[in-house]
Each structure stands twice: as structure tokens, then as C-alpha cells.
Structure 1
């Protein structure tokens, strides 16, 4: 493989570690499409020659990119650029509580924040309401078998869930509360998954290091009256899976 024109070789006179510079050089080639999804990278020896650094430095950079979800290593085949966008396969409309039950795990939930706030542009677009219209924000730490799995932040139109801030019962399943208290029954949901990393804010709660791989999930759920829930979730990459059943 010839040296890409936009590949920036590490500079030993710069203060940043060589492995960091090598990682950024490779990350740029992935981000700008020079190496698109599925591209097989040159082997460590070739990358070492291309970037002018040791194989140990290259190995460090590749490991970081793999942990960030940008690369995948296949034993005996090599290292490939991994797609950063994953769309979940078709499945039933389930809550987190149902998902954990289906996997044989005991669900846990802790409310981290629950308040009313004005909807920003992203929230208003998702819920099909006016910007700055009041919404209820519910941020929860979700667990399975007492192990943290993810952090979910749900936004609900305040007008459809009047009095929800006064509920004192544990919020294991938000959908059960919406169904039983407000007559809101989900009919359809749209989810988008992408590979991301755990923020510094969430790292301690999820018991991982900041920057650890994660699924970032955006979900809009609707009933017969339109969207009633917009949820943004950060799910630990090592404790959450996307499962699909395929048929001929």
C-alpha cells in the first residue's frame, strides 16, 4: 500500500507521545474516508515503516483504536476498519426491563435526575413539539445482576405526564408507569445505534474508564397520538449486545 497523501507522520520534536501521534494519524485516515469501512490495514511492520515509528508504538495505537470501536482485529486475517454506525435488527418493542429479563438478568435502576426543563432543538424535533416547550427529564443508571450496564436519559412531553414528578415508586420500568398511570401504550419505536465512548461524567457510574467503548442509542417511541419519549442511552460495550434473528 502506498503512503496516503494525507498521512501525517509523527514528529519526535513534538511533546505528544509518538503512539498518540500515530493513533491520530490513523484516526484521520478513517474519519476522512481514505480508509473506508471494511478496509484492511497494512500489517504492523508496514505501518511502522510508513509512519517511521517502532512496532510497539504502532501496536499501542492500534489497540487504542480497537478499544474506541474504530477497528476490529481478526485472528489470522488482520486488522480492519470497523463501521461506526450499527442499526439494530428487527425485534419487538421492549423496555430495558424486558430485555434484561429475556437475558435472565435481574434488572436494577437508580434515578440520577428527574426534573422539568425546556426542550432544546434536538428534543423538540424528536418529540414533535415546539422548542422550549416543557419536558420531563428522567436520567437513570440501569443495571443487570447488580452490574452497571448503561445510563438512560428519557425526555417526555410534560403535558402528557402531568404529576409524574410526584411518583415515589421505584422506576424499574418507565413503560409500565406510563401505561398504568397515564394510559400511554407504546406502538412503535425507532432506534439508532452508533459506536461511541463513555464520557467522563458517566465513567464513574458505569465503573469504567472515560473513553471506554459504548453503544450510544437514540430512541423515539410513539403511541397513537405521536412521539411520547425520546431517550439517549450510553450502554457499556462489554455488557450490552445487539442481537438479531435472521430468516431466509
Structure 2
């Protein structure tokens, strides 16, 4: 393996060694040197590569497994996961950031971008009157060119005037909102449920109609209140929820 794709941990840096190993492994995966589905080197080999103890290495591997980048199989070894977004305890980030953190190549296809009026669900979520104008952004989300989900975001026009000009934002929606309006998310509330995928969404997600999928409703707020209501339909085989329960 070429050392050009990663750097060994530096004990003079303030970051813990396990964190530096994490970032090094993430860099290797992003570079394609360890492609999706491939088995990564055994622990003893990794310890030599990174110059760390087995305890430090296992700490890094466990974190990357929890984040969905790696998959450990008992008796077989550790593998690079296929495109899968893992939901659980995490920072408030955009889809673009989450995908990047998992080492996946982020992709998006715009399905709809324009004005509409808030229905009862959107009005309640955004704390506006039903029928008020909202910007609607509907996108097919991809990870490593594979469809993961369909996200439909609604933003109250009163918070984002002239958002339709000059056109749909490229990249992260949150970055565009921060840059243009000073809107920065501070909290998001999510509700997860399972539902059957309709024919239109199924075709976009490359699934048979009626396949179960996760439906995620997300209300995101800044210091002034809710500014985004998003409904996502996520493929069940590429979207995973994990929780840690403590007494």
C-alpha cells in the first residue's frame, strides 16, 4: 500500500491517536485504495502501518463501524461498507456533510425547485399559516452513484426571499442558507416511520413499488425558529438507524 494516501499518527499533535487513525482510514477509503466491499488489512498489519497499539486501533475501527464506514464480520474480518447512511446520535449536519463523513461520494439530482403553498403538515412544522408560500426543493440523493433517498425540503418564503434566484443551490443547502441569509441550524427534530414506497418514488430509488422504506420528517430551527421542513424517503437497505441506550 502506498503511503501517499495517508499519514501516520503524530504524537506531537493534540488530537488523540485513535482519532488520527480514524482520519487516516477515512482518507484511504475516500481515495478508492480500499474500494467498497473490499476487506481491509488485518489488525496486526494495521497496527504496523499506523504505528499504534491494538487498543488504539480497535477504538478507531469501532468508531468507523458505528459511523457506517466499515463492517466487521465475526471470523472473516473488516470490510468497507457499501453506500449506506447511518442515522443515530450525531451532530446536526447536512446530508452532504453526513455522506462525506462516511467516505461516500456525494451525489444529487434535482427533481423539483419552485414555489408552492404550505399544507397543514408543513404549516404546523414551520409555524406559519396554511397556504403561505414556501420554496420546495425535491432531490434524489446518491451515495457512490447509488440512490439512497428522496428528500423534499420546504422553506418559508418569508425567511428566504428571492431564494429562487439565481437558481437551485449547488452542494449543501445549509451552506447556501448560511451564506445568503445568515441562517445557521441549531437544532433538528426528526420522526422516523416505515411506509411502502409509491410507484413514482420506487422508480427513482430503483426499487419495486410497495417496498418498505424509512420515512423521516425533520424540522430544523435556528435562533429565530423553524426554517426547514424536510420529508425524506430512504431505502431501507442503504439507510440504517442505530441507538445507544444507557441507564
Q: Same fold (TM over 0.5)?
A: yes
Cross-structure match for 1:122: 121
Normalised to the residue count of structure 1, the TM-score between the two structures is 0.62
Partners of 1:111 and 1:171 within 8 A in 2: no
Q: Does 1:214 align with 2:217?
A: no
Partners of 2:169 and 2:176 within 8 A in 1: no
Distance 1:135 1:111 in 2: 17
**What do the CA deviations read for 1:39-80 (whole angstroms, capped 9, x no partner)?**
xxxxxxxxxxxxxxxxxxxxxxxxxxxxxxxxxxxxxxxxxx
Alignment of 1:25-44 (within 5 A): none
Cross-structure match for 2:98: 99
Alignment of 1:3-18 (within 5 A): none
Partners of 1:155 and 1:229 within 8 A in 2: yes
Alignment of 1:63-212 (within 5 A): 89-168=88-167, 170-212=169-211
SS where residue 160 of structure 1 aligns? coil
Partners of 1:116 and 1:135 within 8 A in 2: yes
Cross-structure match for 1:41: none
Distance 1:99 1:197 in 2: 25
SS where residue 134 of structure 2 aligns? strand
Cα gap change, 1:171/1:115 in structure 2, threshold over 3 Å: closer, same or farther? same
Q: Which runs of 5+ in 2 are unaligned?
A: 1-86
Count of residue pairs the alignment pairs up: 161
Cross-structure match for 2:225: 226
Partners of 1:108 and 1:146 within 8 A in 2: yes
SS where residue 97 of structure 1 aligns? helix
Distance 1:131 1:153 in 2: 18
Q: How big is the shift at 1:141?
A: 0.5
**What do the CA deviations read for 1:194-226 (whole angstroms, capped 9, x no partner)?**
111211111111111111121000000000000
Q: How big is the shift at 1:246?
A: 5.1
Distance 2:186 2:110 in 1: 25
Q: How big is the shift at 1:177?
A: 0.6
SS where residue 166 of structure 1 aligns? coil
Bigger CA drift: 148-157 or 97-106?
A: 97-106
Q: Which runs of 5+ in 1 are unaligned?
A: 1-87
Partners of 2:189 and 2:219 within 8 A in 1: yes
Distance 1:94 1:178 in 2: 13
Cα gap change, 1:106/1:93 in structure 2, threshold over 3 Å: closer, same or farther? same
Cross-structure match for 2:61: none
RMSD between superposed Cα atoms in Å: 1.6
Deviation >2 Å, runs of 4+: 88-91, 167-172, 243-248
Normalised to the residue count of structure 2, the TM-score between the two structures is 0.62
Distance 1:117 1:225 in 2: 22
